[in-house]
Amino acid sequence: MKQTTSGFTIVELLITIVVIGIIASITLLSFSNVQVRANDAVIRQGARQIEIALVRWVMETGLKPLAGNGSSAVVSNDTCPGIDAVSNGNGWAASGQYTCSVEDLLYARNLLPFEYMSRNMPANNKVIDSTNKRINFMLYPCAGAAGVTANKWVLYWALVQPSSTETSNLNASITECGNTPRRDTYGMRAAKIIQL
């Protein structure tokens, strides 16, 4: 009597391994896209929170959020010393970018948590500053000092996959704000004009 052995052939094993590899790669691609969309959703929500905090800050202080480039000392009496409407400051909004940032002003009034923009947001690999921090937000007065008196500001934020509407809004905001080609958006891919 002949004894038969059963088992898989090499071809069957190779086909199984290839199928598992294809399924794994599809799963990984799907997961990375979900993660990008989730991070972009957090950034969008962060931009909304920053807008609300800015409006409240202006209502509470009666001042303009002049901070950032040109600041010479930390927050004092709701202002950043060294900044005025002529130098108009601003730029990167996150704490640690300048001696006194917009985030520092909002934190000093308890309108945002400590380092909300720099620690509580997903890492932005597209825009990295000179200190290797990943930057997600910028704030500028529209058309420089004239924008300060007109109370129009533009908030930029970084997205990996902006929608076509967000791209249109970015271009419209740059044009409306009169910042073309005066300001570099440093790769920010969404924006909104804020009336303060």
Question: pTM for the complete prediction?
Answer: 0.75
Chain position carrying tokens 């300060």: 148
Contact 43, 158 (CB under 8 A): yes
Q: Show me where the domains of the chain are located.
A: 39-195
3-state SS, residue 142: coil
What is the predicted pLDDT for the residue at 114? 86
Number of alpha carbons in the 13 Å side-chain half-sphere of residue 18: 6
Cα 89 to Cα 144: distance, rounded to the nearest angstrom:
9
Instruction: Output the pLDDT for position 63.
Output: 83
Q: What pLDDT, on the 0 to 100 scale, is given for residue 96?
A: 63
DSSP 64-90: ----BTT--SS-BTTB-TT--TTT--B
pLDDT at 181: 46
Backbone phi, psi, residue 64, to 5°:
-100, 145
Q: How far apart are CA 117 and CA 97, in angstroms?
A: 11
pLDDT of residue 88: 57
pLDDT in tens, the chain (196 residues): 566 667 778 888 899 999 999 998 888 877 778 888 898 999 999 999 999 999 998 999 888 887 666 566 778 788 777 666 555 556 776 666 677 788 888 898 999 998 888 777 887 666 655 555 567 888 888 765 555 556 888 898 988 899 999 989 998 888 888 765 455 677 788 999 998 8
Which residue in this structure is represented by tokens 């080609």? 181
Closest CA to 156 of 43, 61, 74: 43
Tell me what pLDDT residue 154 has: 86
